[in-house]
A and B are shown apart, each in its own frame.
Chain A
Amino acid sequence: MTDIEIDTRGETCPVPLVECRKALKKASEGDEVTILGTHPASKKEIPMACKALGLEIIGVEEKDEEWKIKIRR
């Protein structure tokens, strides 16, 4: 099992969503993918995408403008 972290801070639509999908595509089953970002809409839309992909969100953290979403592949 590997932990993968991707940093999309400062990036806007559709980059956080796309980078999230690219990381999930590369990850193996059981890997944890963490997305770091500041784009407000992506904070709502990454969980939507995970639901559509049938993947589990295992944590969401927020601090000021920044958010961190952890997904299990």
Chain B
Amino acid sequence: MTDTAETTDKAVIIVHSGDLDKIYSALIVGNGALAMGMDVSMYFTFWGLQRLKKGGLEKGPLSKMHMLGLGKWMINKRMKAANVASLEKLMNDYKELGGKILACEMTMEIMGVKAEELRTEWIDEYGAVGTYVNEARDAKITLFI
């Protein structure tokens, strides 16, 4: 949308955790901020970056009460019953609304992740801490999840 009234306030989220519930939180906040007219960048690093691997988005455990997968199974069942959108849909919506994804190059190095293992169609930029700081410099909302 190109309304002149539209603000260019920005939200920047560091997605450090790869836990299923935390990826949900990050993508819900990201989509919400886009829907409210903000620019959004999400910086995926460490275990968060692992979720950008092909087939890896829903793979993370729960941050609490994972119980060898039982807790995750229960939560997934409840989320399905409550008609909560999948992470894949939230990611596609995020991209459609113009959300940016930044991938941490240092994580790729230390964890041995190659670009071809990642969903490169989602990634707008590869960078390190300077990229994050530059994005966050003028942000109204900054979160570490």
Q: Are A22 and B31 in contact (CB under 8 A)?
A: no
* Mask of B84-98 contacts with A, CB within 8 angstroms, 1/0: 110000100100110
Q: Count A/B pairs, Cβ under 8 Å.
A: 55
Q: Looking at the assembled complex, report how far the CB atom of A26 sits from the nearest CB atom of chain B, in whole angstroms.
A: 9
> Which B residues lie within 8 Å of A73 (CB)?
1
Q: Are B97 and A53 in contact (CB under 8 A)?
A: no
> Which A residues lie within 8 Å of B37 (CB)?
49, 52-53
> Which B residues lie within 8 Å of A40 (CB)?
none
The answer to whether B3 has its CB under 8 Å from any CB of chain A is yes
The answer to whether A14 has its CB under 8 Å from any CB of chain B is yes
Q: Are B93 and A55 in contact (CB under 8 A)?
A: no
Instruction: Bin chain B's interface residue count.
Output: 20 to 34
Q: Looking at the assembled complex, report how far the CB atom of A18 sits from the nearest CB atom of chain B, in whole angstroms.
A: 5
Report whether over half of chain A's contact residues are helix, strand or loop; otherwise say mixed: helix
Q: Are A54 and B6 in contact (CB under 8 A)?
A: yes
Q: Looking at the assembled complex, report how far the CB atom of A13 sits from the nearest CB atom of chain B, in whole angstroms.
A: 7
Complex CA gap A22/B5 in Å reads 17
16 more A-B residue pairs beyond the given contacts A13-B28, A18-B93, with a C-beta to C-beta distance below 8 A: A11-B83, A14-B35, A14-B90, A17-B31, A17-B36, A18-B31, A18-B35, A22-B97, A52-B7, A52-B37, A53-B1, A53-B36, A53-B37, A54-B4, A55-B3, A55-B5
Q: Please give the residue numbers on chain A whose beta carbons come within 8 Å of chain B beta carbons, in ascending order.
A: 10-15, 17-18, 20-22, 24-25, 48-49, 52-55, 73
